[in-house]
Amino acid sequence: MDYMSNHGGMCNAFTSLTETNYHFKCSNEAFEEGLDRIAQFFIAPKFSAESAEKEVNAVDSEFNMSLQNDSWHFFNLLMNLAEDDSNLHRFMCGNKATL
């Protein structure tokens, strides 16, 4: 994150029903090293206690923000109405208690 930020960019990810999308941007001069740094996340991931706690807090924050969002309520209703053996009926989002 610091590398991307220091080179005019950012990196982030999101998960939808069917895929997880990782994306980044940075200056042209930093692109090759930036791409390698992102690739290392998949080649040799580091799961430090500090980064895991930070991610749990981020997920919890997103969950709490979604509580006021009508589209999340609608999607939750669809999930609960889906057949029990359907992929749509599966767990969608967590918080500190569920993670």
- 3-state SS, one letter per residue, for 10-67: EEEEEECCCCEEEEEECCHHHHHHHHHHHHHHHHCCCCCHHHHHHHHHHHHHHHHHHC
Does one domain contain both 83 and 59?
Answer: yes
pLDDT for the residue numbered 15: 80
Query: From CA 7, how far away is CA 17, in angstroms rounded?
Result: 32
Quick check: 83 pLDDT over 80?
yes
Residue 93 — pLDDT band, cuts 50, 70, 90?
confident
pLDDT for the residue numbered 23: 93
Does one domain contain both 71 and 87?
Answer: yes
Does one domain contain both 52 and 39?
Answer: no
pLDDT for the residue numbered 95: 86
Does one domain contain both 41 and 71?
Answer: no
Quick check: 18 pLDDT over 80?
no
Quick check: 48 pLDDT over 90?
no
CB of 14 within 8 A of CB of 32? Answer: no
Does one domain contain both 23 and 65?
Answer: no
Does one domain contain both 28 and 59?
Answer: no
Domain encompassing residue 69: 48-99
pLDDT for the residue numbered 55: 87
